[in-house]
Structure 1
Amino acid sequence: MENLKVWLRKNTSTTILTVLFLIVLVNKDAKAWLMRQVASTGILNSRISEAKEIHNALPKASYADFTVKNENGTVINFSDLQGKVVFINFWASWCPPCRAEFPSVQKFYNQYKKSPDMVFLTVNLDDNPDLGKSYLQEKGFTVPFLVPSGKIPEGLYSGSLPTTVVLDKKGVIRLHHKGLADYSKQSFYRQIDHLLKEKS
């Protein structure tokens, strides 16, 4: 026992780092916190493409029939969103990168939720939607809780969580980002403002 105490005194920093590593390894919120610190630098963010840069945009017809539904069972069809900037975020409560970016998604939502030309589709992909609802309630998030009501087109989501897509007012994909990002940056808001000023 004495040898262990001596070793711990000599290796305090190693012991602390090992304990922190183990906490991050097993705790989803700790993982999310660490990822959030990395995301907050902005190095993981993608940029919204200029319209002239779009060469391989997904044809609108391939996702115009995609629908989601809210907690009340009301169905939202993509074809009804023409003339709006649409922010789509595919997420799940068990996904640490989703948890890491969700505070920034909430801040972004708070910033633009009153804009008549902006639509938020935060689409939960938990096998059991109640887990997603519980997560939002536990954390105090107020973003719309939506689930797919049909097959998700591959052009929007191909299996990576989180995945974020931004459509312009013409329904063209201007951002398609797989993985963690920070959506509470002023640089991102400026890009969204630019999209909101574009004509449909």
Structure 2
Amino acid sequence: LEKHPRLYWGYRLVALAFTADMQDPAYAETLDYAKATGHLDRGITEFPEDDYLLLAQAYRYRAENDLQKALNYIAKLKDPNTIQSNYYFIYDLCVQSKNAQVYGSIMDKLLNSSIAAREIDSEQAKQSRLLFMLAFVKDSAGLIELERYASQNPALMKNGEALLYMADTNLEYDDSERAVEYLRQAVAMGALQYPEMKNYSKNTALKSSPAWESLLLQSKSAWEADAPRRAADLLQNRSTISAANWEMKDLNGFIHNFADLRGQVVILDFWAQWCGPCKLAMPPLSKWVQTEMPEGVKVYSVNVIENDYNKAKDYFRENEFAMEYLEGNSDIEAAYKVTAIPHIVVIDKQGNIAWEQVGFSYDLEEKLSIWAEHLLAE
């Protein structure tokens, strides 16, 4: 750069290295930092709209506690990929400086990019922006400003996710009365149902709320009355795809063979130790195996897409899950088209895939009972 002060790629490499080095707080005290900032100043003069240089300067001035100057550089970013890969840094900077305007402009760039890529439509972008701003207001200004923001944006009160966020935030502040009101609205619009409400009952503030108990009882009654319709809906869209054969080892190294399971209903739970939703699904699945699973059903938790199989085995043993552990591999992932987890596959007595569920749901136990009992009766 000393010999070629207009060499763009030199400045870009400096910017990339600087941004990485700034992950270490001690770097700002080194001689390398002083040298790099000199290059960055020259680079931003030569290429004032380059996102790599703009981002590096933002990291620099945040470290120097000049938040306004850091925000000025962030506001000029244009590339959605650069913004996305540095989202948490940008978010924290905007929260620290309480600058909703810059954060909003950044979110607009990300959402407009998603619209252009046809990943979402304009209405979904509008709802997403409201939700992102909801979290931003809470983190930057607290509950009072959050309530004010919600009241100024009535569309939020028609969004189930926003209502639950408002309820959760009020519970954080021990305001059970306001929380119950938001939960009541979420129930009324179908965004919150009885199985998930039972999880809310663990909250200490709600345990002492008569309004919550009343809402819980009403929801339980409505849920039970709706059981026939849910069962009918669940049994629709059954497939008859032949399930792929497999051989997999359990925790003790014993090999289980799918061919030996003909005549039984088989449930495969594809999971990984690092997967948060999988960890939500496994306790209720284990409870179902122990207390509700009918005779003639086998349940296997197939460990896939795993970073550390030994760690996964330890996790499975420590939690004493009632399912049978199986160590999966890329072949089984491909055979059952596992691209997201948890992934539940329900297989009938003839060896055909009848139903599948991807993702966690609070009514998993009910679904498994309905599916299993129907297949056993065939």
TM-score (norm. length: structure 2)? 0.37
| Higher relative contact order (Cα pairs below 8 Å, separated by 6+ residues) | 1
Aligned partner of 2:271 among 91, 115, 118: 91
Q: Deviations over 1:56-88 (max 9, x none)?
A: x3234xx12x22111121111212211010010
Q: CA RMSD in A?
A: 3.6
Q: Which runs of 5+ in 1 are unaligned?
A: 1-9, 21-36
Correspondence for 1:196: 376
Q: Residue 143 of structure 1: CA displacement?
A: 2.1
Work out whether residues 85 and 169 of structure 1, in 8 Å CA contact, stay in contact via their aligned partners in 2: yes
Aligned partner of 2:285 among 105, 122, 129: 105
Correspondence for 1:3: none
Work out whether residues 67 and 148 of structure 1, in 8 Å CA contact, stay in contact via their aligned partners in 2: no
Correspondence for 1:58: 241
Q: Deviations over 1:99-136 (max 9, x none)?
A: 11111111121135672x21111111223222212222
Q: Residue 184 of structure 1: CA displacement?
A: 2.0
Q: In the TM superposition, what are the counterparts of 1:121-132 in structure 2 within 5 Å?
A: 121-125=300-304, 126-132=306-312
- Tell me, yes or no, if structure 1 residue 40 matches structure 2 residue 195: yes
Q: Which runs of 5+ in 2 are unaligned?
A: 1-140, 147-167, 173-191, 198-229
After superposition, the Cα gap between the structure-2 partners of 1:59 and 1:172, relative to the gap in structure 1 and judged at 3 Å, is closer
Q: Residue 98 of structure 1: CA displacement?
A: 0.3
Q: Distance in 2 between matches of 1:197 and 1:155?
A: 27
Moved more, 83-92 or 132-141: 132-141
Correspondence for 1:70: 250
Letter in 1 for 2:316: L
SS in 1 for 2:288: helix
Aligned partner of 2:314 among 134, 140, 145: 134
Aligned partner of 1:163 among 330, 336, 343: 343
Correspondence for 1:34: none
Q: Distance in 2 between matches of 1:17 and 1:102?
A: 27
TM-score (norm. length: structure 1)? 0.66
After superposition, the Cα gap between the structure-2 partners of 1:140 and 1:153, relative to the gap in structure 1 and judged at 3 Å, is closer
SS in 1 for 2:332: coil
Aligned partner of 2:298 among 114, 119, 123: 119
Q: Distance in 1 between matches of 2:322 and 2:368?
A: 20
After superposition, the Cα gap between the structure-2 partners of 1:176 and 1:197, relative to the gap in structure 1 and judged at 3 Å, is same
Q: How many residues align?
A: 164
Q: Distance in 2 between matches of 1:72 and 1:192?
A: 27
Q: Residue 13 of structure 1: CA displacement?
A: 5.8
Q: Which has the larger radius of gyration?
A: 2
Q: Distance in 2 between matches of 1:92 and 1:71?
A: 15
SS in 2 for 1:83: coil
Q: Percent identity?
A: 24
Letter in 2 for 1:103: P
Work out whether residues 122 and 145 of structure 1, in 8 Å CA contact, stay in contact via their aligned partners in 2: yes
Letter in 2 for 1:71: L
SS in 1 for 2:248: strand
Correspondence for 2:361: 181
Letter in 2 for 1:83: G
After superposition, the Cα gap between the structure-2 partners of 1:103 and 1:153, relative to the gap in structure 1 and judged at 3 Å, is closer
Q: Residue 188 of structure 1: CA displacement?
A: 3.7
Q: In the TM superposition, what are the counterparts of 1:133-152 in structure 2 within 5 Å?
A: 133-148=313-328, 151-152=331-332
Q: Residue 54 of structure 1: CA displacement?
A: 4.2
Q: Deviations over 1:122-165 (max 9, x none)?
A: 11122322221222233342322211267115352322111110
